[in-house]
Amino acid sequence: MAVKKEYDSSSIEVLEGLEPVKRRPGMYTDTSNPNHLAMEVIDNSVDEALAGFANQITVIVHDETTLEVIDNGRGMPVDVHPTQKVPAIELIFSKLHAGGKFSSDNYGFSGGLHGVGVSVVNALSLRLEAKVKRGGHLYGIAYENGVKVEELTQLGTCAKNTSGTDILFKIDPKYFDSPKFNIKALKHLLKAKAVLCRGLRVNYEDRINNENLVFFHDSDLSNYLKTQLENVEIEPKDPFACTVKDSEYEVDFALCYDISQTRGVSCSESFVNLIPTIEGGTHVNGFRLGLLYAMREFCELHNLLPKNLKINADDVWDRCSYVLAVKIKDPQFAGQTKEKLSSRHCASLVENVVKDRFSLYLNSNVEVGKNIANFIIEAAKKREASTKFVERKKLTKGPKLPGKLVDCTSNDPSISELFIVEGDSAGGSARQARDASFQAILPLRGKILNTWEVGANTALASEEIRSICVAMGINMDSPDLSALRYNKICILADADSDGLHIGTLLCALFVKHFPNLVEKGHIYVACPPLYRVDAGKYKEYALDDEELKQKQKFLLKKGIKKDNIKIQRFKGLGEMNPEQLRETTLAPQSRRLMQLTLSRNEQDQTFGLLDMLLSKKRSQDRRAWLEKNGDKAMYD
C-alpha cells in the first residue's frame, strides 16, 4: 500500500459520532459473536432492577441476528437535554460517552459506566428501534447503521402507572466472525442475572426454537452453585453461602470443594454489579487470599499441618468451585468488554469479608472443615513432592550468565520466575526472601536506558539491558521464545516516583523489543505495598492510600479504636525485612502481580501513549499531556 508523502493538516482525520466504533469495533466489543452487544442492552435493564425501578425483563430472540429486550423500568428519558439541546434518548444512542451512570445520583450500583454500551450496539446494527413508556405516553425512535431514520415521536398513550424501555436491534454481520447469537451462553447469562438479582423475573422467548423459559430466584447462591455441580461429590454437601452488605458495597458468594477421586465438573463464576467477569480480577484475587488465610488459620488452630508443610493458594484453590458476586460503586474494568475488574480496593475488601466469614464457618463446622483441610493438605504434599528439583542446569552455549544473577535451582522453565529488582539493597532482601527452588533475582543499578527510540545494537551496549537479555536467554527483536529460561519475568521496583519511572522504562523495553513476551503473557509487574497496618492480632498491608482507607474503615467497624491502629509507611523495598518482602511481594500465595498485556486491538493506542511519554521528539506533546493530567498525580 502506497503511503502519502505529504503530512500536513489535511492528513488529520476527525471521526464524528459513531464512526470510531465502525472503524475499530474490536476496541468496543467482542467481535467473535454479538453476545456482548446483547449483554450491553440487557445490562441497562438489569441496572434498572438493581436500582429498584424494575422487576421484570423480557428477552426475545426473533432470529439468528435479531434480539429484543423489554423492561418495566423508568424508561429512557425523552426530554430535551439542557446543554446539548436534543432529546436525551438521542444522546444515549448516538453519542459516545453519554450516559446516566457516571455519578451515583441515578444508580447506586451499576455495570454500565463508560457511556458507550448501547451506542456501540446502535453503531454495529443494521437497524435499531426503541420504544419508551413514560408519563402516560408511548414514544418511538429508529436508527439504521447508526444513523437516525425516524425522529423521536409520540406513538400513542399508555397507562400513567406504567413505564419501561423496549429495544429491538438487528446486528450487522460484517462486524463479527459469527453473526449468530450464542443461545446457550445467552440463556446461562440470563439465568445468572436472575440468580444474582433476587426478585427479578427474566422471561426468555426463543422464536427460532419455540422455547419459552422463566428465570426467577429468591434465595442465596448455594442452590445455584449446587445445580451447576450435579453428580459431583462436594464438601460441604450444601455449599457455604454468605452475603455481606454495606452502603458502599455488597459481597455475595457460595463455595464448596470437589473431594472426589477424579476431578468432576467445576464452577468458577464471578460478577461485578451483575456483569460477568470471565477473566476474574481484583475481586477474585481477594476471594482467593481470603480462603487461603482462613484455611491456614483453621489448620493451625486444630494442629492439622504436618511439620514443615505450608499450604499455598494453589492448594486451596485447585478443587474449589465458587460463585462470587460483588457490587461496588464506580467499578474500574480492564477494558470496554468488562471481562476483568481492576479496582484495587476491591481485593482487600473481598479478602477481609471472605476470611472472616469462612473462618467462622469452618470453626462452627469442624468436621466439615477437617474434611476440606485434609484434602488440601494431601494436595500440598503432592505439590511439594513434585517440586523437589535437581540443581538448575547451566547454559552449555551462548554468553555467560550475568555475575549478579542469583539463579534458581529448578531446571523447569515452565515454573521458574525471574525478578528484575531495583537496586542492590533490595536485591539482597529479595535474595533472602525468595523461594530458591524456582525464583531467580537480577538486581539493577539505577534507571536503565530508554530503549524506545534505539535499536538492538545500541540497547545491548548498556550492561544492564544486556544482563536482562542474557538472563532471560532470548534475543532482542526476535520472535523465537524457545530458549526462554523463565515463565514469569517480574518487574520489582519501589512504589515511589523513581520506582515507577524504572518500571515504565522496563515496560517500554519489553513492549518495544520483546513484544512476543508480552503478548504470550510472560511479563508481570509486582505490586509491593506502601503501608503496613497493625492492630493487635490484625497485621495487614495496603497497596496505596485508597486501600489504606479501606483497611482502616474495616478495622474501625471491628470495634478497634483509631489510636490502636498503627501504620508504617515503606519508603522503598530496602525498608522491608526479608519476611515482609516474601509475604507481600514474592510468595505466590499472598503476593500481587499485574500481568502486562498487549492486545492487538489496542496495540496502536498503547504504542501511541508510550511514544508520547518516552520519545525525545514528542516533548511538546508530553508537556501538554502533563499540563492536562498533572493534577491527578499523588504527592506526599
pLDDT single digits (tens) 308-318: 888 888 889 88
pLDDT value of position 308: 84
pLDDT value of position 632: 61
Question: How many angstroms separate the Cα of 428 from the Cα of each of 345, 448, 579?
Answer: 30, 19, 13
% of the chain exceeding 70 in pLDDT: 89
pLDDT value of position 224: 86
Which element (helix H / strand E) includes 288?
helix 282-301
Annotated catalytic, 494? yes
pTM of structure = 0.57
The residue count of the chain comes to 636
Q: What is the mean pLDDT of the chain?
A: 83
**Active-site entry in 206, 384, 498, 519:** 498
Q: For residues 418 and 415, give the distance between their C-alpha atoms in angstroms, rounded to a whole number.
A: 10
pLDDT tens per residue, range 202-237: 999 999 999 999 998 877 788 888 888 888 889 999
**Active-site entry in 422, 464, 540, 547:** 422
Q: What is the CA radius of gyration of the chain?
A: 27
Q: Could you count the other beta carbons within 10 Å of the beta carbon of residue 297?
A: 15
pLDDT value of position 433: 85
Residue 83: phi and psi, rounded to 5, are: -110, -35
pLDDT value of position 330: 77
Question: How many angstroms separate the Cα of 269 from the Cα of each of 162, 190, 276, 322, 435?
Answer: 35, 14, 7, 6, 32
pLDDT value of position 398: 53
Vertex 214 angle, CA 211 and 215, to 5°: 130
Q: For residues 183 and 188, give the distance between their C-alpha atoms in angstroms, rounded to a whole number.
A: 9
Which pLDDT band holds residue 339 (cuts at 50, 70, 90)? confident
Query: Which has the higher per-residue pLDDT, 278 or 107?
Result: 278
Query: Is the pLDDT assigned to residue 546 strictly greater than 60?
Result: yes
Annotated catalytic, 498? yes
Amino acid at the residue 390: V
pLDDT value of position 115: 37
Classify residue 87 by its DSSP letter.
B
What is the signed CA dihedral for 570, 572, 574, 578, rounded to 10 degrees? 50
Query: Is the pLDDT assigned to residue 107 strictly greater than 60?
Result: no
178: left (phi over 0), alpha (psi -120 to 50) or beta: beta
Which pLDDT band holds residue 260 (cuts at 50, 70, 90)? confident
Cβ proximity of 406 and 471 under 8 Å: no
Which pLDDT band holds residue 396 (cuts at 50, 70, 90)? very low
Whose CA is closest to 94, among 169, 145, 163?
Answer: 145
Residue 422 C-alpha cell reads as 531495583
Whose CA is closest to 87, among 95, 97, 77?
Answer: 77
Amino acid at the residue 117: G
Whose CA is closest to 325, among 248, 242, 437, 401?
Answer: 242
Highest mean pLDDT among 226-240, 380-394, 443-457, 538-552: 226-240
Question: How many angstroms separate the Cα of 104 from the Cα of each of 2, 331, 336, 402, 534?
Answer: 50, 12, 20, 54, 33
pLDDT value of position 210: 92
603: left (phi over 0), alpha (psi -120 to 50) or beta: alpha
Q: For residues 271 and 196, give the distance between their C-alpha atoms in angstroms, rounded to a whole number.
A: 9
**Active-site entry in 351, 494, 540, 547:** 494
Q: For residues 459 and 450, give the distance between their C-alpha atoms in angstroms, rounded to a whole number.
A: 8
Q: For residues 120 and 172, give the distance between their C-alpha atoms in angstroms, rounded to a whole number.
A: 12
Whose CA is closest to 117, among 269, 300, 337, 287?
Answer: 337
Residue 92 C-alpha cell reads as 444515549
Q: For residues 113 and 331, give the distance between their C-alpha atoms in angstroms, rounded to a whole number.
A: 8
**Active-site entry in 496, 545, 546, 604:** 496
> What's the sign of the alpha-carbon dihedral 108, 111, 115, 119?
negative
**By mean pLDDT, which of 161-175, 287-301, 584-598 is the weakest?**
584-598
β-strand pairing of 320-328 with 439-444:
unpaired
Q: What is the DSSP string of 385-435?
A: HHT-PPPPPPPSSSSPPPTT-B--S---TTT-EEEEEESHHHHHHHHHHS-
Which pLDDT band holds residue 63 (cuts at 50, 70, 90)? very high
Residue 372 C-alpha cell reads as 476440606
For residue 89, how many C-alpha atoms fall within 13 Å in the half-sphere facing its CB?
A: 26
pLDDT tens per residue, range 481-498: 888 999 999 999 887 777
Query: Is the pLDDT assigned to residue 39 strictly greater than 70?
Result: yes
368 alpha carbon, distance to own chain's centre: 32
Cβ proximity of 309 and 381 under 8 Å: yes
Q: Could you count the other beta carbons within 10 Å of the beta carbon of residue 428?
A: 16
Amino acid at the residue 549: K
Cβ proximity of 518 and 597 under 8 Å: yes
Annotated catalytic, 258? no
